[in-house]
Amino acid sequence: MKTFNLDDISIEIVQKNIKNVHLSVHPPHGKVTIAAPLRMDTQTLRVFAISKLSWIRKQQAKIKNQKRETAREYINKENHYYLGKRYLLKVIDTDLRPKVILKHNTIELHVKPNTNTLQRKTILESWYRNKLKELIEEYISNWEKQIKVRVKDFGVRKMKTKWGSCNHNAQRIWLNLELAKKPRHCIEYVVVHEMVHLINRLHDERFVAYMDKFLPQWRAIKRELNELPIGNRGD
């Protein structure tokens, strides 16, 4: 994978069998990538990037100023989010097996006495992962009929720069664990986005047409999702 620098900005080049150049600035750190046709040389892409330098800096500044979640300590009365709603964490000591119970306004974290911060985080993230998988499975089942595609496998993992990804050959999609904290319609949007990639790999006009057909409000949802507070993706 090639990279080049413009002043203090490192730009990563990903060359594919595509027709057009796609420039992206990714949260949470403002990473810059260019997806380019195989025929284009690095110097041509450098000139292209220079012409977009003002836009790149503007997008990076927007990401830098975006609201961010404070580091969590997993203690009593700390704010945590699930499906877009804020809950207060309630830590309860127990000699039984650790578990998480969702109440009306609280998330109960049942753990053994002296459980440290990392252990509490691991238990809560495991709960997030399982709940998110249940929801993803439901959305996949519903959308397979409409999109007319089959998802052979899916998973949840931490991602630094993406909400989801798709392995076209394996017919597998991955979703970012952080989505468990976001509203349901945002999760559904990412599921649909990745499922559409199973029939169209690129972010081209055909992809946009599919998204318009299946989820006409997808642009507004994407904007909402990307404006929500950024968590510590991939930590």
CA angle 213, 219, 224 (to 5 degrees): 140
Beta strands in the chain (DSSP E): 2-6, 9-16, 22-26, 31-37, 79-82, 85-93, 99-102, 106-111, 153-157, 164-167, 172-176
Q: What is the CATH number of domain 79-227?
A: 3.30.2010.10
Q: What element of type H or E holds 140?
A: helix 117-147
Given a contact cutoff of 8 angstroms between Cβ atoms, the answer to whether 88 and 77 are in contact is: yes
Round to whole Å and give the CA distance between 24 and 56: 8
Return per-residue pLDDT of the chain as tens, 235 residues: 789 998 889 999 999 888 889 898 887 678 899 999 999 999 999 999 999 999 999 988 887 777 777 789 999 999 999 999 999 999 999 999 999 999 999 999 999 999 999 999 999 999 999 999 999 999 999 999 999 999 999 999 998 778 999 998 899 999 999 999 999 999 999 999 999 999 998 888 899 999 999 999 999 999 899 888 766 443 3
- The domain ranges of the chain are 2-64, 79-227
- Tokens 């991939």, residue located: 234
Q: Which two tokens stand for residue 64?
A: 């830098």
Q: What is the pLDDT of residue 231?
A: 66
SS3 of 127, please?
A: helix
Q: What is the pLDDT of residue 233?
A: 42
Q: Which two tokens stand for residue 199?
A: 């029939």
In 3D space, the residue among 221, 161, 220, 233 whose CA is nearest the CA of residue 191 turns out to be 221
